[in-house]
Amino acid sequence: MEDWNSFLLPYEQAVDELKVKFRGLRPQFAIDNDQTPIEFVTGRVKPVESIQEKLVRRHIAEDRIEQDLQDIAGVRIMTQFVDDIYQVVDILRKRTDMTILEERDYVTNAKPSGYRSYHIVIEYPVQMVTGEKKILAEIQVRTMAMNFWATIEHSLNYKYDGVFTPELSERLERAADAAFKLDQEMSEIRAEIHDAAAQRDKEA
Amino acid sequence: MEDWNSFLLPYEQAVDELKVKFRGLRPQFAIDNDQTPIEFVTGRVKPVESIQEKLVRRHIAEDRIEQDLQDIAGVRIMTQFVDDIYQVVDILRKRTDMTILEERDYVTNAKPSGYRSYHIVIEYPVQMVTGEKKILAEIQVRTMAMNFWATIEHSLNYKYDGVFTPELSERLERAADAAFKLDQEMSEIRAEIHDAAAQRDKEA
Amino acid sequence: MEDWNSFLLPYEQAVDELKVKFRGLRPQFAIDNDQTPIEFVTGRVKPVESIQEKLVRRHIAEDRIEQDLQDIAGVRIMTQFVDDIYQVVDILRKRTDMTILEERDYVTNAKPSGYRSYHIVIEYPVQMVTGEKKILAEIQVRTMAMNFWATIEHSLNYKYDGVFTPELSERLERAADAAFKLDQEMSEIRAEIHDAAAQRDKEA
Amino acid sequence: MEDWNSFLLPYEQAVDELKVKFRGLRPQFAIDNDQTPIEFVTGRVKPVESIQEKLVRRHIAEDRIEQDLQDIAGVRIMTQFVDDIYQVVDILRKRTDMTILEERDYVTNAKPSGYRSYHIVIEYPVQMVTGEKKILAEIQVRTMAMNFWATIEHSLNYKYDGVFTPELSERLERAADAAFKLDQEMSEIRAEIHDAAAQRDKEA
């Protein structure tokens, strides 16, 4: 790649736009006094070294980057509850400013590592000075508990690359299960409170 | 209007998105070492009191706001040189994420007050939780000198509403002319320097 | 209170400044290739209705607000690990741009509800047009897991005020314990990986 | 310099903090319905190449950078009127979060090039992870008209380095004078309107 700065510009633009777009959904729920399913939104462009490392690891030729690397532009939406993830996904499916190419539900079907998130690959048109350019971007939707686990797992992997014994990997996987059980417990508590409130309102 | 907060949400969203989109054009010029025609970008949603005042002044019924008020969402693009204005307009015309409904060239044909700017009214689709909503927005493109004059004229008008004697209005108009002459002088200086540089490069 | 907007201005300013200051610590760790103890930072000014409700609930006179309400300006720092909380607190203690008035360690000693966080009350000088004004602000330092629980607990409390049966409160408290156990498990996993890496480096 | 990223961190932090601090002054004027003297605020850290070029040009040793380069961190405050510049300077003098080391009034005494601005060199304490670090920063206060001229002059100088004939420099200087006359004309118009409004209020 001759000029990474130039290559990454439309991806940076896409991340900036998508962050503003998804954050802008929050106040729309507040208006109707509804609980927003979106707790917070983050985004990043994959660092050049990580792109290069992935090209090598996956045997991807440089002229195939745009089609084969789907997560150069990445945006993450965090929710409070597991159900909120699917509500967010439904909202994303209705949008006309992007095209969904692929959905992978690692919430219901966790990865072997224990990782959970809902992944959506989109095609997103960025308006450049020279005209429209369509790029791929990955949207990850996850609960705060899934994000807690994934953040720590990623930073351990990054810092201690290569010293994960099978036993440690297993412990991390069990921690992911515990985080998910916590998610389910919080959902149940919400459901019970919701029912109690409905009961109270009926009796009033 | 029952609920202004709710009514203004898509306009606020549009302003946030358009600011990110137009600011994102700047680094694209820097990449090619070109002078960027965009110096800075600002945006605002018209305050409720100003909307109400305009409805009364223009005899617009409340159910006609969306169609008849074109500047509830407003974005301003400032350039260094007069020519840059038209370059920006050309770039805007190529975009596929908005539809231009109307263009008014107050740069070549100043308003009687002396005001100069290039106005573009667009239809812009905002993705709401409930689906796409098309709103109108106004984009003003002007040089920094035009912006200097317009900012001061607006703040004097706002603070000293109704005490503009014809003589004062005339002085302000002459100041606008002087600002425009300054714009033209700067353009000429740039042209001369450009020619001198070209001449030097040819001789080298 | 005659004018809440005016009263809240220095608090808004303090929150804006503290967010920029604490976020600015992150890249300093990255430079030395150290794990940053600060995962993300949020901030808010307490809404007027919440202030008024708290004044009534705690029998605080309006002329005592500035001294008696310590959390009108609130900033939250989220960490990956429990130990990071204490590292952040140490860094805050060294700062010369604020004075720590009080520390409350709800990490080691959870509240009866199950809530965990480290609270620091500071006096922070804001430079107003009219001169320096010292205000109180509350900084909460917590892990992402503590934040996960506290965010959900707060939003359930807010939406379903008054329908918490003792049994539901107990379930929430047990969930807080589970979140804390998860925090401890993650810390242990990190410690083991750290030791394994040290061992490997020694053998190399 | 071994590590520019690390060296520039406190300067970047200072610029971020000063922008938030100066922008935060604007709403304080709005509260009292006063005209704000601050129209907008920008900031930047000097690019590494510009620092290196300046070191060579001014024969500054690398170990003298911190003391001898006063504009590595730069913040610019734009006003509507010339008088506003001095009001802003007065407000800055009262601040206790920075120490003014030097003031240079290029507003009254323009540089030979025609450049006008009020320059203030401050010592500003940044709180690093390792403790407080005092750095130098330069604040430039200027009207929008001065900024218009300076922006264009700088970009022409940058793009056409070395082809300024004496005649072109003279033309640029005359343009700076014209911009300043425009500033004075706007001030006079404001004064007259102010008097007319006062007269009207007296008669009412």
How much is the pLDDT for C31? 79
Q: Is the ipTM of this complex over 0.90?
A: yes
- What does DSSP say about strands C99-105 and C118-128: parallel, antiparallel, or unpaired? antiparallel
Q: Please write the tens of the pLDDT for every residue from B154-186.
A: 999 888 877 888 999 999 999 999 999 999 999
With an 8 Å Cβ cutoff, are A97 and B96 in contact? Answer: no
Question: How many angstroms away from the CA of C148 is the closest CA of chain A?
Answer: 6
How much is the pLDDT for B86? 98
Radius of gyration of chain A (CA): 19
d(Cα C79, Cα C151) in Å, to the nearest integer?
15
Q: Please write the tens of the pLDDT for every residue from A100-132.
A: 999 999 999 999 999 999 999 999 999 999 999
With an 8 Å Cβ cutoff, are D163 and B196 in contact? Answer: yes
Domain residue limits, chain C = 4-145
DSSP B109: S
With an 8 Å Cβ cutoff, are C178 and A175 in contact? Answer: no
Question: How many angstroms away from the CA of D86 is the closest CA of chain C?
Answer: 14
The number of CA neighbours under 13 Å toward the Cβ of D104 is: 13
Residues 6+ apart with CB under 8 A from A166: none
Percent of chain D with pLDDT over 70: 99
Percent of chain C with pLDDT over 70: 99
Please give the order of strands across the beta sheet that includes D118-128: D40-45, D73-79, D131-143, D118-128, D99-105
How much is the pLDDT for C15? 98
- Is A102 marked active-site? no
Check if A127 contacts B (Cβ < 8 Å). yes
Tokens of D87: 């009001």
Q: In chain B, which residues have pLDDT < 70?
A: 1, 33
Check if B157 contacts D (Cβ < 8 Å). no
Q: Do chains C and D touch (3 or more CB pairs under 8 A)?
A: yes
How much is the pLDDT for D151? 96
Q: Pick the catalytic residue from A17, A138, A153, A173.
A: A138
> Is pLDDT above 90 for C146?
yes
Q: Which of D5, D20, D131 has its CB closest to that of C17?
A: D20
- Alpha-carbon distances, residue C58 vs B147, C51, C62 (angstroms): 51, 11, 11
The C-alpha angle with vertex B185 and arms to B182 and B189, in degrees rounded to 5, equals 140
How much is the pLDDT for A140? 98
> Is pLDDT above 90 for C124?
yes
CA–chain centroid gap for B37, Å, is 14
Tokens of A192: 């019970």
How much is the pLDDT for D198? 87
Buried b (16+ CB within 10 A) or exposed e, B182-198: bbebbbebbebbeebee
Tokens of B178: 């002087």
Q: Do chains D and B touch (3 or more CB pairs under 8 A)?
A: yes
Check if C155 contacts A (Cβ < 8 Å). yes
Question: How many angstroms away from the CA of D1 is the closest CA of chain B?
Answer: 26
With cut-offs at 50, 70 and 90, classify the pLDDT of residue C60. very high
d(Cα A10, Cα D195) in Å, to the nearest integer?
53
d(Cα B86, Cα B101) in Å, to the nearest integer?
17
CATH homologous superfamily of A4-200: Beta Polymerase, domain 2 (3.30.460.10)
How much is the pLDDT for A46? 97
Check if B131 contacts A (Cβ < 8 Å). yes
CATH number at B4-203? 3.30.460.10
With an 8 Å Cβ cutoff, are B94 and A131 in contact? Answer: yes
Check if C157 contacts A (Cβ < 8 Å). no
- Alpha-carbon distances, residue B197 vs B162, B186, C173, D151, D157 (angstroms): 51, 16, 74, 20, 12
CB pairs B-D closer than 8 Å: 101
Q: Please write the tens of the pLDDT for every residue from C154-197.
A: 999 888 877 888 999 999 999 999 999 999 999 999 999 999 88
CATH number at D4-145? 3.30.460.10
Check if C200 contacts A (Cβ < 8 Å). yes
Q: How long is chain C?
A: 204
- Alpha-carbon distances, residue B137 vs B1, B6, B106 (angstroms): 20, 17, 17
With an 8 Å Cβ cutoff, are C186 and A194 in contact? Answer: no
